[in-house]
Each structure stands twice: as structure tokens, then as C-alpha cells.
Amino acid sequence: MATAEFGRAVHRWRDKVTPETAGLPAGGQRRAPGLRREELALLAGISVDYVTRLEQGRASNPSTQVVEALARALRLSADERAHLFRLAGLALPDPETVPTYITSSVQRVLDRLTGTPVAVYDASWTLLQFNQPYAALMGDQPGRNDSNRNGVWRYFLGLGVPTRRTPEAIRAHETSLVSDLRAAAAQYPADQRLRKLIAELRTNSPRFAALWESGAVGRREAAQKTIDHPRVGTLTMDCDVLTVAGSELRIMIYTAEPGTEDAERLALLTVLGTQSLTG
């Protein structure tokens, strides 16, 4: 059970993180240089009311996922993250479960990519963090507890993704998703959420089940993606996925060839998205 000090610690750390550091526009008059509760809630993927209750000591049982999300949003060091877990009365996540912690060094890299669509996924392809250009490109992202937050579930059972692919690219993409989950399950055998995800996919998606049973193995390759965007039209971009050694986090980055119409449309979309989010 979280102590009253948990809420005070969250508040103190919130006061130390500037909007610019968190990749947010400063915007308007501020009583303090740190993040507003609304901004911390946005970054952590939880409600403003819940952040308020945590800080005021009126919510005493935050889940491991909530504490991890707060640690990411507050840019905590490894020692600070461990302290926050202790204050919440929780053990640090088991090393045999899928890591969701974004280190400060990786966070600094992400903070510098403010004009580029970037998203971070864990080894099971659950979305952990994304920036404003990514939201502008891909649309509003599901909430933290929405099953569509997992990219494999979203592809096979949920909302789908707004990407145009050839039949060959579809087969390669599906095979790589199944292969990635198979590898994650072998690497993190104690992760109950991952086991539940795979069981649900095998039960409810005939396509996933067929690929899983066939033992399909594929490797993710750098590729171009074409997206039909409702605001700026069709964009063809390079999509690169970088893997963080030691945690298997996946950093997905979208870029367009400089000097092309795709680059101009992507730049326009980034501006439009920022205006939409801050207006």
C-alpha cells in the first residue's frame, strides 16, 4: 500500500520536470516551472483525477503499471524509480517479465526527436510512449488499459492500423509480429500478461493461431510505409525500428526523404498536430 510520502514524492518530482524537458509546449502563465497535473496525466496515460488522488494520499493502491508509467513520465533515474516502487509498497518488476522502463539515456534521445514521429514499444509490442508528431500521424492513441494499446492485438483483433501494404508486405508483417511474440514469450516466461495476450490471440484470431501453430519465424526489416492521412493526403515514409540492448524496447521512427512532397506533408502534419494539441 502506498504511503502518504508516495504522493508527496510524485508532486516534488512533478515540480522538477519542465514542459520542455517532457517534450510539451510551455504555453501560458504558470505558477511553477514544473508539469501541471494535467500534463503528468497525459504523459503517464492516466486520468487527472487519479493523479490528484495519488498526490493527496486518497488513492493508496497504485498498480505496478501505474507506478512504472509515472516513473517514465517523471524522467526518474533507476534509483528514483526503485524508491517510488518502495513508497508504493510494490516490488520492482520481475526480471523475467517484459521490461517497460525507459532509462534516462534513452529518454534523452527521445526528447531530441521533437520534430520526428517516434513511438516506444516494449518487447510484446505494447505502446509505452509516443510524441506529438506520432499522434498527429497515426491519430489518437488508445488509453493505457485499452487492449488496442498492444500493436499485435490491435492488428489481429482490434482497430487495425492506417497503413497501406502489398499482400507480400502483409504476410511479412504478420509473420514478424507472431515471431516477435514467440521470442518475447521465450525470453520472459514469467510474464502473465504476455501469456494472456498470446492465449487471447490464439483463441480469437484464426490468422494469428495459424501462424503460431505453423511455427512461422520472420525478421523485421526496415521498410517504407504508406499512410492515407485525412488531413494532408498520402504519405510514404521510411519506418525504422531500433531495439534497445538489455531491455528489448523498440523505438519506431518515421522519416521522409528530404526535399520530397512526403517530407513537406509530414512537416505540415507535425505543425497541424501541435496546433491541435495545444490550442
Domains of the chain: 4-87 (1.10.260.40), 104-278 (3.30.450.180)
Between CA 73 and CA 44 the distance in angstroms is 5
Cβ atoms of residues 40 and 51 within 8 Å: yes
- Residue 37: exposure state from Cβ atoms within 10 A (0-12, 13-18, ≥19): middle
Q: Taking Cα atoms as reference points, which of 233, 45, 279 lies closest to residue 137?
A: 233
pLDDT confidence of residue 123: 94
Do 190 and 127 meet the contact criterion of CB atoms below 8 Å apart?
Answer: no
Mean pLDDT rounded to a whole number for the chain: 88
Letter for the amino acid at 43? L
Q: Can you spell out the DSSP letters for the chain?
A: ---HHHHHHHHHHHHH--TTTTT----S--SSSS--HHHHHHHHTS-HHHHHHHHTT------HHHHHHHHHHTT--HHHHHHHHHHTT-PPPPTTS------HHHHHHHHT-TTS-EEEE-TT-BEEEE-HHHHHHH-SPPPTT-GGGBHHHHHHTSS--SEE--HHHHHHHHHHHHHHHHHHHHH-TT-HHHHHHHHHHHHH-HHHHHHHHHT-------EEEEEEETTTEEEEEEEEEEEETTTTEEEEEEE--TTSHHHHHHHHHHHHHHHHHH-
Q: What is the pLDDT of residues 162-219, one digit of tens each?
A: 788 889 889 999 999 999 999 999 999 999 999 999 999 999 999 999 999 998 887 7
Average pLDDT, integer, range 121-132:
92
Mean pLDDT of 88-116: 87
Confidence grade of residue 279 (pLDDT, cut at 50, 70, 90): very low
Distance CA 263, CA 114 (A): 15
At 5, list the grid cell.
510520502
Band of pLDDT at residue 1, cut at 50, 70 and 90: low
Among the listed residues 33, 36, 43, 50, the one whose alpha carbon sits nearest the alpha carbon of residue 68: 43
Rg of the chain over all Cα atoms, to the nearest angstrom: 19
- In the prediction, which pLDDT does 28 show? 66
pLDDT of residue 276: 40
User: What percentage of the chain has pLDDT greater than the value 70?
Assistant: 96
* Structure confidence by residue, pLDDT tens digits, 226-235: 999 988 999 9
User: Distance between CA 114 and CA 269 in Å, rounded?
Assistant: 13
What pLDDT shows up at residue 192? 93
pLDDT per position as a tens digit, 57-96: 898 889 998 999 999 899 998 899 999 999 999 999 888 8
pLDDT grade, residue 278 (50/70/90)?
very low
pLDDT of residue 18: 86
Looking at residue 68, its amino acid is E
**How far apart, in whole angstroms, are the C-alpha atoms of residue 132 and residue 260?**
22
Pick the residue with more confidence: 239 or 25? 239
- Nearest in space to 255 (alpha carbons), one of 268, 272, 236: 236
Provide mean pLDDT across the span 11-28: 82
Predicted local distance difference test score (pLDDT) of residue 237: 94
Residue 239 pLDDT > 70: yes
Query: What are the cell numbers at 220?
Result: 523485421
**pLDDT band with cut points at 50, 70 and 90 for residue 251:** very high
pLDDT at site 201: 97
